[in-house]
Amino acid sequence: MKTDKLTSAKLVDLIEQNLADLALLTLTKERGYANHDETRKIIQHARNCVADLRYTHVGLSLANLSSIIELIAAEVARATRKFPVWPTDPLHAVGVVGEEFGELQKEVLQLTYEPQKSSKEAVRIEAVQLAAMSIRFLLSLDRYEYQPQPQHTQKEGGES
Ligand SMILES: [Mg+2]
């Protein structure tokens, strides 16, 4: 008999699927029908529990992760309100992400060598902004147009 190696990821997937099935079955057995809103809530709760399991498995707490993700989501919303458009050219888009990386790097560098000029809070703010711009980059993955841009020679005497 062939046995698949049961990795922790597969185990978590199995638990998630079985919890969802169990929620449906229990509601249907109890009442003869399943209330879809309630079923969805139970399944969502099960998913949250399983997500917690995934994170704690690698030593992360969902509570910590959730608060960071909330900060990033709030920054995505703030930035999108302030600048609703996003470059269709992926090189401009990645330039925005790179700018935030540069700002984060500057804060970390200053906190290391000129600590009076920066703070952990400034580092946190820039790290959140970098994550937020990465998410905006991802949100447009299907909208990018990968078009080579005009180029010119730097050879002396060259005209094109
Ligand atoms: Mg910034």
Give per-residue pLDDT as tens, 9-59: 777 777 777 777 777 777 777 777 767 777 777 777 777 777 777 777 677
Q: How far is the CA of 134 from the centre of ligand 1 (A)?
A: 12
Q: How far is the CA of 150 from the centre of ligand 1 (A)?
A: 30
Give CA–CA dist 88/102, Å, rounded.
Answer: 22
Q: How far is the CA of 96 from the centre of ligand 1 (A)?
A: 10
pLDDT at residue 5 in the model: 62
Confidence of residue 102 (pLDDT cuts 50, 70, 90): very high
Co-location of 94 and 49 in the same domain: no
Residue 3 has pLDDT above 60, yes or no: no
Residue 144 has pLDDT above 60, yes or no: yes
pLDDT at residue 151 in the model: 95
How far is CA 98 from each of CA 94, 101, 104, 125, rounded to the nearest angstrom?
6, 5, 10, 15
Q: How far is the CA of 129 from the centre of ligand 1 (A)?
A: 6
Residue 129 domain boundaries? 61-147
pTM confidence score:
0.67
Co-location of 95 and 121 in the same domain: yes
Q: How far is the CA of 127 from the centre of ligand 1 (A)?
A: 8
Position 52, amino acid: D
* Contact of 48 with 23, CB cutoff 8 Å: no
Q: Which pair of tokens denotes residue 78?
A: 């703030």
Give CA–CA dist 40/57, Å, rounded.
Answer: 25
Domain finish residue from 60, 80, 97: 60
Co-location of 55 and 66 in the same domain: no
Report yes or no on 156 lying in a domain: no
Under DSSP, is residue 90 helix (H, G, I), strand (E, B) or coil?
A: helix
pLDDT at residue 56 in the model: 72
Q: Which residues of 73-99 are buried (b: 16+ CB within 10 A; e: fewer)?
A: eebbeebeeeeeebbeebeebbebbee
Contacts 24+ apart (CB under 8 A), 39-47: 43/19, 46/16, 46/19, 46/20, 47/16, 47/20
Mean pLDDT of 145-157: 93
Please state the domain count of the chain: 2
Q: How far is the CA of 81 from the centre of ligand 1 (A)?
A: 16
